[in-house]
A and B are shown apart, each in its own frame.
Chain A
Amino acid sequence: MALWTWLWATPATAMPAALLLTLGSYALALQIYQLARRPALLHPAITAMLAIMAVLIAGDIDYARYFEGAAFIHFLLGPATVSLAVPLYRNLAHVRRLGSALAFALVMGATVAVVAAWLLGRMLQLSDLTLRSLLPKSVTTPIAMGLAETLGGSPSLAAGIVLVTGVIGCVAAPLAFRLLRVRDPAAQGFALGVAAHGFGTAKAFEISPLAGAFASLGLGLTGLVTALALPWIARAVGF
């Protein structure tokens, strides 16, 4: 036990320990996910997070101490967000071809996601912090975390909320499409990317490559548009 405490006391050992714990849990979670044939609820990020929480609680390690050690992985979110410009650029041809239809669907979808969450969240009397972390829920996690911080919410709460949103989107999509009679794979893919970010995009690639391309487009554009518009709107309405 003394050895365990010593391990987390200084960065020289806490950093490799935290990195190993993170990478190891994720690798294991990825294996489980693939063995179980990729169900949305067993997404590797969720399993890995739960496993790490269990280790930290059982080992009596402060979250702050773990986070310090794993900060390097967290930092990579920035460059990863920047790299989303590449698939966005790749799919620009679709944007040029379908310009106004795509723009309208995007703005409506992104607006519904934010406004519905806000109205319902207020009705159900969610706390101010939760509400502020909730608004960017349809946006890809790295952007949502930055946005939550900008809006005065909590980045880690936003990360959890975004994950759950992704799972809900994947589980609900087949039913929603059937009810609304949406058969167009491009529309299905785009909606998955707009409403359920990376999770939805992975799901769309299972439908078809075209649906996948539209999903990555929806993911990138929603992230960009929401990040550019939401903070100004929130500021204007005095949120």
Chain B
Amino acid sequence: MDGLTALITLLSFTLAGQVLAHVSGFPIPGPVLGMALLLAALMIRGRVSAELERVSALTQRHLSLLFVPAGVGLMTHAAALRAEGASLLITLIVSTVLALGATAFILQRLRRGQTT
């Protein structure tokens, strides 16, 4: 098949995740629940079809295209960004560097103790 089944799979799990989020009332984005459901399904099935592999690789290669329409919406926040842009940037730089350092440092430490 030419990717049609993979598309149906992804849409089904998207919808299932949205429905689960709505019905359960969990404050979690529906697609994330859909991702968890698909992961569980793949683990139960024990393999990924070549087709699903291809479609998901294609999607992820161009993932950044998909958030362009929402990102353009930044222009509606221009006033707020002018007012607090500098503070926001400092917050982002510091917290990102801390997270990056902490994760790498901890994992390297712990992995040294294990045999790899």
How near does chain A come to B112, taking the closest CB pair, in angstroms? 8
Taking a contact as CB atoms under 8 Å apart, the answer to whether A90 and B48 are in contact is yes
Interface centre among B17, B64, B110 (most CB of A within 10 A): B64
Task: State the Cβ distance, B10 to closest chain A Cβ, in Å.
Answer: 4
- Contact between chains at B88 and A130 (CB < 8 Å): yes
**Could you say which residues of chain A place their CB within 8 Å of the CB of B52?**
83, 86
Is A138 in contact with B114, judged by CB distance below 8 angstroms? Answer: no
Q: In the complex the two chains form, is A168's CB within 8 Å of B68's CB? A: no
Tell whether, in the assembled complex, residue B32 and residue A146 are in contact, meaning their CB atoms are under 8 Å apart.
yes
- Does any Cβ of A come within 8 Å of B55's Cβ? yes
A187 adjacent to B29 (CB under 8 Å) = no
A159 touching B27, Cβ below 8 Å:
no
CA distance A142 to B39 in the complex (A): 17
Partner of A84, one of B48, B60, B93, B101: B60
A138-164 to B contact mask, C-beta < 8 Å, 1/0: 101111011101100011110111011
Q: From residue A104, how far is it (CB to closest CB) to chain B in Å?
A: 6
From residue 1 to 54 of chain B, which have CB atoms closer than 8 A to chain A? 7, 10-11, 13-14, 17-18, 26-32, 34-36, 38-39, 42-43, 48, 52-53
Contacts of B63 in A (CB 8 A): 80, 140-142, 198
Contact of A49 among B13, B72, B91, B112 (CB under 8 A): B72
Closest to B42 in A: A89
CA distance A140 to B60 in the complex (A): 11
Q: Is the interface of A mostly helix, strand, loop or mixed?
A: helix
A70 CB contact (under 8 Å) in B36, B59, B69, B93: B69
> Given known contacts A159-B73, A161-B88, what 6 new A-B pairs fall within 8 Å (CB)?
A98-B114, A101-B114, A117-B92, A160-B77, A176-B104, A184-B107
Residues of A within 8 A of B (CB): 18, 22-23, 25-26, 43-45, 48-49, 52-53, 56-57, 63, 66-67, 70-71, 73-74, 76-90, 92, 97-98, 100-102, 104-106, 108-110, 112-113, 116-117, 120-121, 124-127, 129-130, 134, 137-138, 140-143, 145-147, 149-150, 154-157, 159-161, 163-165, 168-169, 172-173, 176-177, 179-180, 182-184, 186-188, 190-192, 194-196, 198, 218, 220, 223-224, 227-228, 231-232, 235
Nearest 6 Cβ contacts at the A-B interface:
A156-B73, A146-B29, A109-B103, A191-B104, A101-B110, A231-B27
List B residues at the A interface (Cβ < 8 Å).
7, 10-11, 13-14, 17-18, 26-32, 34-36, 38-39, 42-43, 48, 52-53, 55-57, 59-60, 62-77, 80, 84, 87-108, 110-114, 116
